[in-house]
Every structure is written in structure tokens, then in C-alpha cells.
Amino acid sequence: MDQLLIRTHNGLIQGYVQNGVRTWKAIPYAEPPVEERRFRKPLPARPWAGVRSGDMTVPLAPQRVNPTGGAFRLKRDQIPQSEDCLYVNVWAPDEPAPQPLPVMVWIHGGAFVTGGGGLPIYDGSELARRGGLIVVSLSYRLGPLGFTHFSPFSGQSEDGYVSNAGLLDQIEALRWVKHNIAAFGGDPQQVTVFGESAGSMSIAALLAMPAARGLFTRAIMQSGASQAISDSHGKLLTKGLLGILGIQENQLERLQEVPAEEILRAADELKQAAGASAVMLFQPVVDGKLLPVTPLEAVAAGSAAGIEIIIGTNRDEGALFIPEDMPMLTKEQNARAYTAVTGSKEAASWIEAYPATVEGQRQAMTELFFWRSALQFAEAQLPHAAVWMYRYDYAMVPGDPLLGTAFHSAEIPFVFNNLDLLAGAGMPVNEEMRSVAERMQEAWTSFAKRGQPSTPSLPWPAYDAEERWTMVFGADSAVTRDPDADKRRMLTGGSDRRTT
């Protein structure tokens, strides 16, 4: 068998060489979640006959697409969308290694409503080639199709409508990796999951879910930590969605007949009704079974014992969400929003410390939503495994309203070292940017290979409750002791000792 023809448990797939690495795209890991499978748990993909081509495009899960292409100007409105979206992509070095290689599995972000594992910005070629390891990306169900809390309304059926379907998809994809990645040259005992935003929040949930135990050994969490809504909140949202669709709670079978576009429209209407200060409507829900408690509670209790993590945020996360011309929320709206997303009654007083300006509100979102949750998660995991903390500070285009900040998602093309893609979209790329990308990529792959991100060119000590070493990635990356210590104490309750 040649090096591009791989036998998986489901059948043969023919790969190809792209950018100096072997590539296999659009490999099904689960049955299509369509018709009677919609809103149900994923089932393993069925075997296929003959040889499947590995050069197909992975469709996006049904979603709303930004026609401008977003911060990186990478338009995705020409990529097909389909509920049949449960696929993985695999990249491997051009030459097979004598020993099984570590594996990195990417879980994409997008607020649980947009994105896809097949987007070009997530191409794993450079990561696999320079890192000398296997890279996998996965897609999962999104929005109302992936994160509606149906299990309370589904009775006792073993194959009824579920909650957290998108997380169950991710678990099924990781099971596929465990059972198949050896055929591609990967080591199923050395799997690192990494993700950004909702992808990182998904990893937080996976670390708390009993069904995900044993499927990965390390985790890298970029700009996202513990995020989940309560059972009661999830039920209210589900009832609201069903009401808009005109479906009774005892008639869930009618959901099979509703076009996906109509379900998306109902979700849009539900969000509009929720108001300007509403948090993400579709996200993991604490259902008491699949996700027994919040990820933060579970990790603090040892659910992820032995799993080393890298966790961090970007210096200017809020810049992506709060443009220069955005109307400011009222004081009351801000207080309600941050109380909801932080789960702390103190948020109403915290927000008072930030000026009612665009820059002030950007900083509030960065620190209250992203940085605080990362700090809490790191503290919760410290008694159970090694933790490394980072902050991404690099600004690509100084002076630009957005690209001159370290905005939410800005680190992604550096982690994947896909700067040529940005250059092709008309963005300036220079040697300093390439150097930052190399340092980040070296740290990420070192962690996947050896369980710690220190490299000869960039020493990175672990985070602890005394020194709180934090790697700051920038033009001159360096480790810093306890950055913004006073603000950290305010946001995490003033403790300077390890939490248990």
C-alpha cells in the first residue's frame, strides 16, 4: 500500500501531497446528522466500499456567514453548507516516521454558531511539516442544531433527542482519532486537543465530561475557559425556540421536517427577543448527566487530573467585538451582561472601574470575560496537573483600528503559521510576523511532543500560585512574573495562594 492510501476502520481513503505534507480531507467520523438523526447523538460512520477520495471540501454546518470575511478578510460565503458536516481532516509529514508521532486535534471556535474545521485558516500543513507530528481538524454541529437543550423533553429513549450534540460530535471525532490515527502514523496515546474561543470552551467542557476521559492527554486553551448555562436556562431557551417554530414539547418528531434555514431563522428571532445584553444563547448546558456540573467545578474537583494544559488570552480580546462606532450599552445593561457571563454579583461593581468608552468597554470584555475565566481555570487545575499561562500581545499592523491590536482570534494564523494566506488576502506580512509565528508554533508543538512548551530559544516555566509565570508573545516574546497582579487579585477574589 502506498503512503497516501490509508485503510481506516471504515474503508480506504486516498490522500494527496499539499504544501509538502500528506493530506486527507473530508473523512466521515459519524453518520450524517440528518432527517431522523437530527438532534440525536452521533453514531460512528458506516463503512464505505472502494476508495474514498481525500481531496473533497468539508461543508460548513448551517450558519450565518459574515460577507466581509471578518478580521482576516477571508471570505467563506462560497463554501457549501450542509447538516452533513461531521468530518475530519488529517495532515502528516511527507515521509512516514519510524515511530508513531504525537497528534494535535484542532477544535474550531465561532461562538458555537459559526466556523468549521475545514476553513483555510486552520490548514494544518505547516504545523505538521515544521512540528513533525500529525494534525487533525474536526467539524461539529453548531447553533440550534448543535446546542439546544432537548434531553429534558425527550423521554427515556436511549436514542432520543439530546443536549450538547455539538460536544458529543467532538467526542465521537476523538474516538475516531483513537481508533484510526495509527494508520496515518499517529500515536493514539499522545493526543493534544487545542482550540480557540468556543473551541477552547469546548475543551473546558470535554475536561469535565466523563464520556471524554481517556481520549486525549494534553490540552491547549486559547481565549476561552469554563462556559455553560444551567439546566433551567437551557429549558427556557428550548421552549422559546419550539414556540417560535410552532412545535409542542410532546411533538419533537416534527423537528425532522423543518428546514434547517427555518430553524436558523427561529434562532435569530429568539436572540433578537433576548435583547442586546444577552449572552450566547447556544452553548454547553449543564444537563446533570453528560455535563454533570460546570467545567470549572468539575476541573477543581479533579475531573482532568493528570492532563497538562496551556491556557491564555489575547491582550485586546474585546477589540474584535466592540468596533469604534458601536453604541455603548447603558450602565444597567452592562451590569446585567457581565453578571450573567461571570456568574458573579460583584461584576456590577467591577464594570464601574472601566470608562464608558469604546476602549474602556473593550478592556472590560477582555479582562472580565476572557482573562478572569482563564485565571480561574488555571487555578482550578493547578492541584491536579502542570499548567502554563500565556498572553498574546502582538499587533500585526500598528495604527490600524483592529489589526493594530491583539484582538480575539489574532493568534490563530501564528499558531498555524498560515501567514501566506493572509498575504494572499492583501494583508502585509513581514519577517517579524514570521518570527512570532515560529516561536508560537515551536512552543505548541513542543508541548504536544514532550508535555511542556519550553524551547531552547524561548524558556517557559510552568504557572504556579507563587510566581504566576506568564509567557507574553510579542515582537520580543518573554516570560513575565504575575502581570497586572493587582487586577488579578480583584478579579479572582484577592487570593495569592493555590486554590483547592
Of 334, 283, 304, the closest CA to residue 140 belongs to 283
Q: 47-85: per-residue pLDDT in tens?
A: 999 999 999 999 999 999 988 888 888 888 889 999 999
CA distance 196 to 88: 17
CA geometry: angle 278, 170, 53, nearest 5 deg: 125
CA distance 342 to 450: 34
Could you read off the pLDDT tens digit of each residue along the chain, which spans 500 residues?
489 999 999 999 999 998 889 999 999 999 999 999 999 999 999 999 999 999 999 999 999 998 888 888 888 888 999 999 999 999 999 988 899 999 999 999 999 999 999 999 999 999 999 999 999 999 999 999 999 999 999 876 778 999 999 999 999 999 999 999 999 999 999 999 999 999 999 999 999 999 999 999 999 999 999 999 999 999 999 999 999 999 999 999 999 999 999 999 999 999 999 875 567 899 999 999 999 999 999 999 999 999 999 999 999 999 999 988 888 888 888 888 888 778 788 888 888 889 989 999 999 999 999 999 999 999 999 999 999 999 999 999 988 989 999 999 999 999 999 999 999 888 889 999 999 999 999 999 999 999 999 999 999 999 999 999 999 999 999 999 999 999 999 888 755 543 33
Residues 256 and 346 sit within 8 Å (Cβ to Cβ): no
The grid cell for 223 is 481565549
| 3-class state of residue 7 by DSSP | strand
Element at 28 (helix H, strand E): strand 21-28
Q: Look up residue 266 and give its amino acid.
A: A
Give the number of other CB atoms < 10 A from CB of residue 466. 10
Q: Indicate the burial class of 358 (C-beta count within 10 angstroms; 0-12, 13-18, 19 or more).
A: middle
Q: Output the pLDDT for position 413.
A: 97
Q: Where in the sequence numbering do the catalytic residues fall?
A: 197, 317, 408
Q: Output the pLDDT for position 497.
A: 43
Q: 273-328: per-residue pLDDT in tens?
A: 987 556 789 999 999 999 999 999 999 999 999 999 999 999 999 999 998 888 88
Q: Output the pLDDT for position 496.
A: 52
Residues 137 and 125 sit within 8 Å (Cβ to Cβ): no
Of 220, 209, 362, the closest CA to residue 297 belongs to 209
Which residue spans within 307-433 are E strands per DSSP? Answer: 308-314, 387-392
Q: What does DSSP say about strands 218-222 and 308-314: parallel, antiparallel, or unpaired?
A: parallel
What is the model's pTM? 0.96
Residues 394 and 406 sit within 8 Å (Cβ to Cβ): yes
